[in-house]
Amino acid sequence: MATSTHTVTNQPPPLVAYNVFTTDRALAEALERHLDDPAVREAARRELAELGRAAGSAQAQRWAAQADTNPPVLRTHDRYGRRIDEVDFHPAWHRLLGRAVAAGLTNAWGRPGGHVRRAAGFLVWSQAEAGHGCPVSMTHAAVPALRVDPDLAAEWEPRLTSGVYAQGLRPAERKPGVLFGMGMTEKQGGSDVRATTTRAVPLSAAGEYELTGHKWFCSAPMSDAFLVLAQAPGGLTCFLLPRVLDDGTRNPFAIQRLKEKLGNRSNASAEVEFAGTWARRVGEEGRGVATIIEMVAATRLDCVLGSAALMRQAVAQAVHHASYRKAFGGPLADKPLMRNVLADLAVESEAATVLAMRLAAAYDAADRGSESERALLRLAVPAAKYWVTKRCTPVVAEALECLGGNGYVEESGMPRLLRESPLNSVWEGSGNIQALDVLRALRGAPGAAGRSGREPVPLDAFLREVGLARGADHRLDGAIKGMLAELAELESAEVRARRLAERMALVLQGSLLVRWAPPEVADAFCASRLGGDRGSAFGTLPYGLDQAAVVERARAEG
């Protein structure tokens, strides 16, 4: 008689049917902290709790797996040989994207606490699936760039912020909502956008141009319109390029191929060519970088949010697994060494979340006219983008290892998180670009965060923010002193730019955690990240910390 050997024991249940928002204590506390108006705060709680339930549902997890395993497909021609340049997506992609748009993730502008609410939602929903966040981010970030031209903003902003996802290509005026993409990078220039070779020839005095050129990376090529850079007679200029013209004809927009990427597989990134492509100028000729940098700055914050989301999801999965998996006589999470690893990961995740939400609050304050918060953003955004996105991959890799061989299996979802983890460090300027932008802010060069003629100095705003925690922890005080010593030698700082950006991000995170996090989290961060009492790998926190409390705080349960 056959004997069954397939009795399943000691396997953790899936982390499903849980609320991604309400179980994230660091995020929920940040929302309370940064929304002053009780009515706004209560409305935000409700909308985020609803989104959190959806993000942790079995349905969203199925959509995420389907979108990742069924990547977009390029259709250059129809059956008759006509050029159509369309990208087909799995239905799961459209469901994920539609839910994101309906949740207001393309609109932080002009509503009370809009950036904080939208940032929290982006962090929550990105944990379901990160790839569709690209068009969500681009659409949201296009608004400040378009506001350089009031007429364009009046025409397009209601479509961008409508909260309606309208699938398919047709004239924008016939759609209740639109998505935006961006095309800056060219194969010969990379991050050096001033090397752009795409040409723009004026067609009329009304700001109409004809573009000819090639874009090496065009984000979200299925979008309704794009912000692109091209060389006009007056220099590098920003343009709005629609996919479909007002008369219903397709604007010349030849998609040469879709990129086959390491991760971010559900999202399409393309090489495109323009040949007689119609576009409208945004801002003045020769002011292209100054115009589009507003979009870049907003998407850089989304890089921080996206990395914080990946870290949070990876840590939640690791803590969940270790809480149920038994080995050597008890749950893995109770073993001192595993607890050290989980606590170390949880501290990194919480530091990223707290920093990201503080930046979102600064955007709200800047929109209300705070020049000091605008100055803080000029320095803090590139520093945060540099450091948080750099920390994402090692966090996710260590969290995967907490699941052992199970984490290396595709069905666990951890390989998808790991493939996604390097992206935000590359997107919108890789590490060197961010570090150099920190130096530019320190030296007083103009940037995205400031528009007025006489604005606060970014370093002064940064030091005021960090100084709010001075005297609360001697390790933080020592780190601030060391940072100031580094800042005293800016003339030779380029070779040390990464070190400087890292130190500034860590000091800012330490200040925020000392002020707002539970003592056990702040103590662990300051001891290990600022006091230097740790090794080079995760799981090397010093003895004597309340690691169990840190791990318990990071738990997400169904």
Let me know if residue 1 belongs to a domain.
Answer: no
Say yes or no: 262 and 315 in one domain: no
Asked if residue 251 belongs to a domain, the reply is yes
* In a domain? residue 18: no
Phi, psi (rounded to 5 degrees) for 217: -130, 110
Q: Please tell me the predicted confidence (pLDDT) of residue 488.
A: 87
110: left (phi over 0), alpha (psi -120 to 50) or beta: left
Is 3 part of any domain?
A: no
**In the prediction, which pLDDT does 558 show?**
64
Ramachandran quadrant class, 220 (left: phi over 0; alpha: psi -120 to 50; beta: rest)? left
Supply the DSSP string of 241-299, one letter for each residue.
Answer: EESB-TTSPBPP-EEEEE---SS-TTS-EEEEEEEEEEEEEES-TT-HHHHHHHHHHHH
Burial of 534 (0-12, 13-18, 19+ CB in 10 A): middle
Residues 6+ apart with CB under 8 A from 413: 61, 64, 65, 317
Identify the domain boundary among 286, 304, 320.
286
Question: Could you please report the per-residue DSSP string of 432-489?
Answer: HHHHHHHHHHHTT---TT--SSS---HHHHHHHHHHTTTTS-HHHHHHHHHHHHHHTT
Q: Which residue has the tokens 């955690």?
A: 513
Q: What is the pLDDT of residue 463?
A: 97
Residues 280 and 328 in one domain: no
pLDDT at residue 157, rounded to an integer? 96
Domain of residue 158: give its range: 25-286
Q: Are residues 265 and 144 in the same domain?
A: yes
Q: What is the pLDDT at residue 340?
A: 98
Q: Supply the CATH number for residue 184's domain.
A: 2.40.110.20
- The answer to whether the beta carbons of residues 497 and 435 sit under 8 Å apart is yes
The three-point CA angle 519-523-528 to 5° equals: 160
Q: Where are the alpha helices (DSSP H) in 468-546?
A: 474-487, 497-516, 519-525
Structural domain contains residue 7: no
Residues sharing a CB contact under 8 Å with residue 202, sequence separation 6 or more, in sequence order: 208, 209, 232, 233
Residue of 119, 54, 64, 127 lying closest to 313 (CA atoms): 127
User: Does this model's pTM top 0.85?
Assistant: yes
Q: How many residues does the chain have?
A: 558
Which residues are CB-neighbours of 359 under 8 A, at least 6 positions away? 119, 301, 304, 377, 380, 381, 384
With the C-alpha atoms ordered 429, 430, 433, 437, is the resulting torsion angle positive or negative?
positive
Radius of gyration of the chain (CA): 24
Together in a domain, 148 and 59: yes
Residue 410 belongs to domain with CATH number: 1.20.140.10
Q: Positive or negative CA dihedral for 556, 324, 412, 264?
A: positive
Q: Specify if 9 maps to a domain.
A: no
Residues 101 and 66 in one domain: yes
- DSSP state letter for 423: H
Dihedral sign, CA of 367, 369, 373, 377? positive
Backbone angles phi, psi at 184, to 5 degrees: -115, -45
CA distance 435 to 429: 10
Residue 17 lies in a domain: no
36 and 86 co-located in one domain: yes
Is residue 12 one of the residues assigned to a domain?
A: no
514 and 496 assigned to the same domain:
yes
Block means of pLDDT (10 residues each) for the chain, 558 residues, are 78 96 98 97 98 98 97 96 96 98 94 96 98 96 95 96 95 96 86 88 96 94 96 97 97 96 96 97 95 89 98 98 95 97 98 98 95 96 98 98 96 97 94 95 64 70 97 97 90 89 98 98 98 95 96 90
User: Do 282 and 294 fall into the same domain?
Assistant: no
* pLDDT confidence of residue 435: 96
Same domain? 316 vs 435: yes
> 252 and 351, same structural domain?
no
| Per-residue pLDDT, 452 | 43
Task: Compute the distance between CA of residue 262 and CA of residue 127 in angstroms, rounded to an integer.
Answer: 18
Q: Answer with the one of 230, 255, 286 that is the final residue of a domain.
A: 286
Of 254, 286, 318, at which residue does a domain stop? 286
Pair (490, 351) in one structural domain: yes
273 and 317 within one domain = no
d(CA 140, CA 419): 25
Q: Which residues pair with 406 in a beta bridge?
A: none
How many domains are there within the chain? 2
